[in-house]
A and B are shown apart, each in its own frame.
Chain A
Amino acid sequence: MPVASADRGTLGRFSVLLVQTRPEVLALSPLARPDSVPPPASTPPHLLRNFCIIAHIDHGKSTLADRMLGVTGIVEDRQMRAQYLDRMDIERERGITIKSQAVRMPWASATKEPARPEHGGVRPEGAPGGLRTYVLNMIDTPGHVDFTYEVSRSLAACEGAVLLVDAAQGIEAQTLANLYLAMENDLAIIPVLNKIDLPSAQPEKYAEEIAGLIGCDTADVLRVSGKTGEGVPALLDRIVEVVPPPVGDADAPARAMIFDSVYDTYRGVITYVRVIDGSLSPREKIAMMSTKATHELLEIGVSSPEPVPAPGLGVGEVGYLITGVKDVRQSKVGDTVTGAHRMASTALGGYKDPRPMVFSGLYPLDGSDYPILRDALDRLKLNDAALVYEPETSAALGFGFRVGFLGMLHLEIVRERLEREFNLDLISTLPNVEYQVRLDDGSTAEVTNPSEFPTGRVASITEPVVRGTILAPSEFIGTIMELCQSRRGTLRGMDYLSPERVEMRYTLPLAEIVFDFFDALKSRTRGYASFDYEPDGEQEADLVKVDILLQGDTVDAFSSIVHRDKAYAYGVQMATKLKELIPRQQFEVPVQAAIGARVIARETIRAIRKDVLAKCYGGDISRKRKLLEKQKEGKKRMKMVGSVEVPQEAFIAALSQDGSAGEKTKK
């Protein structure tokens, strides 16, 4: 097939890399000959294999991916190490994130291709048993439950998934969740045990677990070592063998699905797409089907693993687009890209606007940092389509934002980035979920901030629920049931993955797990349990708003919506905590918890009578002054609630899960 001359350089570079790495790689496997590598835009779909790797966080996905880059010859092992270090330097220096969202790798395989009914049952050309060079696209998937939607879009860009499980640890709940998603997307699953080189590996045991889980034979479970490379060529062969080639209409108007979208300081938004129908080429105008917005295509290319411009992307191909837009919201994950001049009539299915599940108020410790926080959120938004926020004011905490997150990890990541990258000190209020409140007068309200809970007689409140999956050694079943029951959970089912491991499925109110559920689960199972959840609709519940009052004034930051049965415990806990955390004032301060006008718990902070340090010899003066200077700084961190001075630390500690920060504020 002819290749535009402008792109020869790119291919040449590709070839040089291959030539360099040839000797090492030859020892491992049959190698794709450079002249036989199908180039982008002209790769027949039957030579394409799009797959992802589903794995738990430390089960060795990156190492295996590195090894694949080495074995396929696109990056030599030794160079790759150096390259990755370089990349990290660039990230550090420029503050940008370079990810390999999708890597294009050639792989020469003698493996028989599956005959596809879509091809009319005809085996594609090429001598059976001979070597043929395929193009494998490895598509990265976000590893966390908060990003289920992003995961689902990555999976939708693939026809197969490598289920990678640590041979020493077995499958984890999170992996299970992504495995379900993959199966729902009809992906071919290739079960693989990794780290078989470890002395603690138990491949027999976990092969049985996996075989039982996905209904295959234990012999079908491949065994690899990302570390030594053992089994990796066989895995690549297996991918060619069992992952179906993509199917699409090359003559139809272009339709490509966005499965990732990242912001780069220098290049603007880089959009990763998988072409379903038609083709995309440079110098073409494209349109986003959800917004109808059109953009110039400045560059189109593939990652191998560094970005390489290409003459286009055809059916089934995976690559990137650069349009010069600066906000990932203009290039949303799940959206369909089409040609502006020849638009497709229907978008690809499955697009959803990201929907925040967990809300928290974020406030700068230093009120004068509010504009910095605002700008910081605006900046983060460029690279985080799921981040939503609006300004809010708290009597206790001042000016801040109510921020919506996909889940707890998303919250933690955003908070950490704000603090680290923008040098902000933040207070975040207790995370809460969104409630639908219906009043007797028929009006309804969506409540994302407990202090905005409507006044008036409540007819009903609904709260979001999740379907949770817990994997744990079976000895912990009782403990886990106890925990889930205390969190208003309902057991949906239980299966033994092996005699020692059990999968428990629960329906739980989201509100009950956003706080400290995962920590509680870990500590009760000595760290052995893993947990995953996904949204599962809403339910009506008997919920009340509990207010916390200091000297009769409601502290809005401490208001919480809790189940009626737990209101008293929450009230007592907060009142006790605050009594410990708030330093004694010159006057007595009652701390109360109340539902409406009804006080359910009360503590009293007695008035302080003495704060002076008795002695003041010559040698004490410098110490005393320095203490005073320190206290002055501390004073700046005081917030007034009515006439009560509350140290920031008290807010942080009271709003944190264990209250440990309180030790510092106690005298």
Chain B
Amino acid sequence: MPSAFPPGDPAPADGSLPASALSGMPSRTFSVYVHVPFCRVRCGYCDFNTYTLPELGEGAPAVGAVPGLMGAFFEAAQAELRLAGGVLSEGAPPAAGTVFFGGGTPTMLPPEVLGELLDGIRGQWGLRPDAEVTTEANPDTITPQVAESLAAQGFTRVSLGMQSAVPHVLRTLDRTHDPANVAQAVGALRAAGLQVSLDLIYGTPGESLPDWRRSLDAVAELAPDHVSAYALVVEEGTRMAAQVRRGELPAPQDDDEADKYELADEVLASLGYAWYEISNWARDPGAACRHNLAYWRGGDWWGIGPGAHSHVGGVRWWNVRHPRAYADRLAGGASPAHARESLDDGQRHDELVLLGSRLAEGLALDVLTGPGRRAVAGLIAEGLVDGTQAVRGRVVLTLRGRLLADTVVHRLLAA
């Protein structure tokens, strides 16, 4: 069961947006997200909106033809693209600067099918010449042919769900890939000229500090362009949450995760990767994930697919979750949006501080309210905010501050 949606207001059936949201679009960045809600197996810790084929009552997909619900998804995604084109047309959005295929496992679909969706995006809004086009991939699904094909379709970057290099940790996470496959996948992607990011998870029950170091050492060896490292969160409703509740698995410990974060930052820094967001490191500034940066900098994006979230000019909305409901909505000519919220000034300020403070570029001091600014001195004294940067006018978290970002954000919002 994927985690619950936030509460929101009803969304209009035609998906239309208020003029206030559309105004100013040309001067903002525009991105597209495509949610592919299919996986071969569901991992016990995962709370993303994804479904295995048996869950959807489907057999194995025929290669090429993409039958059944996967076919329906493809049709529906194309329909949502057309709907999005209409809704945004008055705002005159710029060409998309970034596209991200996430899931699920987007590479459950053949590269050609992903390519067709990418073509749909190109046709609707155009892609900037320097556009970043990423897909997430399971290491097992990447062969040299697939890599070549992705590159040929216009993808520039692949984010591999490596998670760990340690077999018993992978087993706890229900990951089926062979760690050796990761190296082959990275090699194939490199050879095809694609940028590579590795996704890691730390704090898995049973993972020791040496286990985590082993994963970081493997990263060093694979030398990706980009690394994401996320502390495991046991989400309500997942199989892992049930296992923790029953005492079959120990719950992740904050202190252990703090140790592992510090180790990751130390090892990655020594390898030349700099953090640019709390959980993200890049070999050089150009290797940062521009798509995610767009989220954190408050850019506009349209999310295509079941359960996908979108944001345009202070309006956030999210689609119905189930692929069937999603396809049915669009087949009936209606917007698949389930609910939405229009942010007021206070909420926009909260988001600005919440998201901006997570970035290495930090937050301009002048966006803070008076009490927020007055809180900064204390945060510097407590070693949570970088004093040098603050003097230069930006709030940037120290290593300790990154781990205690919740505390910092509260204080900056003078809450």
Residues of A within 8 A of B (CB): 586, 606, 608-619, 621-626, 628-629, 631-632, 635, 667
Contacts and interface: CB of A to CB of B under 8 A. Distances in A.
A618 B309 contact: yes
Contact of B254 (A609, A615, A625, A628): A609
Interface string B301-339: 101000111110000101000000000000000000000
A618 B358 contact: no
A611 B296 contact: no
Contact of A612 (B303, B341, B406): B406
Contacts of A619: 303, 307-309, 318
B354 interface: yes
A260 B6 CA distance: 55
Contacts of B296: 616
Of the listed residues A622, A626, A631, the one surrounded by the most CB atoms of chain B closer than 10 A to its CB is A622
Interface stretch (B255-263, B363-371, B385-393): B255-263
A625 B347 CA distance: 8
Nearest to A635: B415
B183 interface: no
Contacts of A612: 278, 402-406
B254 A608 contact: yes
Contacts of A667: 254
A632 B311 contact: no
Contacts of A606: 255
A611 B233 CA distance: 12
Contacts of A623: 3, 6
Contacts, number: 103
Given A611-B407, A614-B279, A618-B295, A625 B351 contact: yes
B21 to A, nearest CB: 15
B167 to A, nearest CB: 23
Interface string B227-258: 00111010000000000000000000011011
B11 interface: no
Given A610-B231, A625-B354, A629-B350, 17 more contacts: A586-B382, A586-B404, A609-B258, A611-B404, A611-B407, A612-B406, A614-B229, A614-B279, A616-B277, A616-B278, A616-B358, A621-B311, A625-B350, A626-B6, A631-B410, A632-B413, A635-B410
Interface of B: 3, 6-8, 33, 102, 229-231, 233, 254-255, 257-258, 261, 277-279, 292, 295-296, 301, 303, 307-311, 316, 318, 341, 347, 350-351, 354-355, 358, 382, 402-407, 409-410, 413, 415
Contacts of A632: 410, 413, 415
B403 A611 contact: yes
A611 B411 CA distance: 14
A625 B316 CA distance: 12
Contacts of B308: 619
A617 B296 CA distance: 9
Contact of B403 (A609, A624, A635): A609
B316 A621 contact: yes
A536 B310 CA distance: 72
A624 B258 contact: no
Given A611-B405, A612-B278, A624-B354, A617 B415 contact: no
B309 A622 contact: yes
A151 to B, nearest CB: 50
B114 to A, nearest CB: 19
A330 to B, nearest CB: 49
Q: B3, B102, B295, B303: which has the most chain A beta carbons within 10 Å?
A: B295
A614 B231 contact: yes
Contact of B295 (A608, A610, A617, A635): A617
Nearest to B415: A632
B309 A611 contact: no
17 contacts: A586-B382, A608-B254, A609-B403, A610-B254, A611-B403, A612-B278, A612-B405, A614-B230, A614-B233, A619-B309, A619-B318, A626-B6, A631-B410, A631-B415, A632-B410, A632-B413, A632-B415
A622 B257 contact: no
A625 B7 CA distance: 12
Q: Which are the 9 A-B pairs with shortest beta-carbon distances? A: A609-B258, A612-B405, A611-B406, A632-B415, A619-B309, A610-B258, A614-B231, A610-B403, A614-B230
Contact of A610 (B229, B261, B303, B351): B261
Nearest to B279: A614
Contacts of B350: 625, 628-629
Given A586-B404, A608-B404, A622-B6, A615 B354 contact: no
B295 A621 contact: yes
B331 to A, nearest CB: 24
A613 B406 contact: yes
Given A610-B258, A614-B233, A623-B6, A628 B354 contact: yes
A622 B341 contact: yes
A629 B343 CA distance: 13
Contacts of A625: 347, 350-351, 354
Contacts of B347: 625
A614 B278 contact: yes
Nearest to A612: B405
Contacts of B292: 617
Contacts of B258: 609-610
Nearest to A633: B415
Contacts of A629: 350
A635 B413 CA distance: 12
A613 B203 CA distance: 13
Nearest to A626: B6
A392 B299 CA distance: 53
Contacts of B6: 622-623, 626
Contacts of B301: 618
A625 B351 CA distance: 6
A352 B405 CA distance: 62
A581 B292 CA distance: 37
A621 B353 CA distance: 12
A610 B358 contact: no
A619 B255 CA distance: 27
A667 B279 CA distance: 21
A620 to B, nearest CB: 9
Nearest to A622: B6
Nearest to B411: A635
B49 to A, nearest CB: 8
A247 B242 CA distance: 75
B313 to A, nearest CB: 14
Nearest to B397: A612
Contact of B233 (A613, A622, A626): A613
A612 B404 CA distance: 6
Nearest to B409: A628
Given A610-B403, A631-B415, A615 B309 contact: no
A465 to B, nearest CB: 47
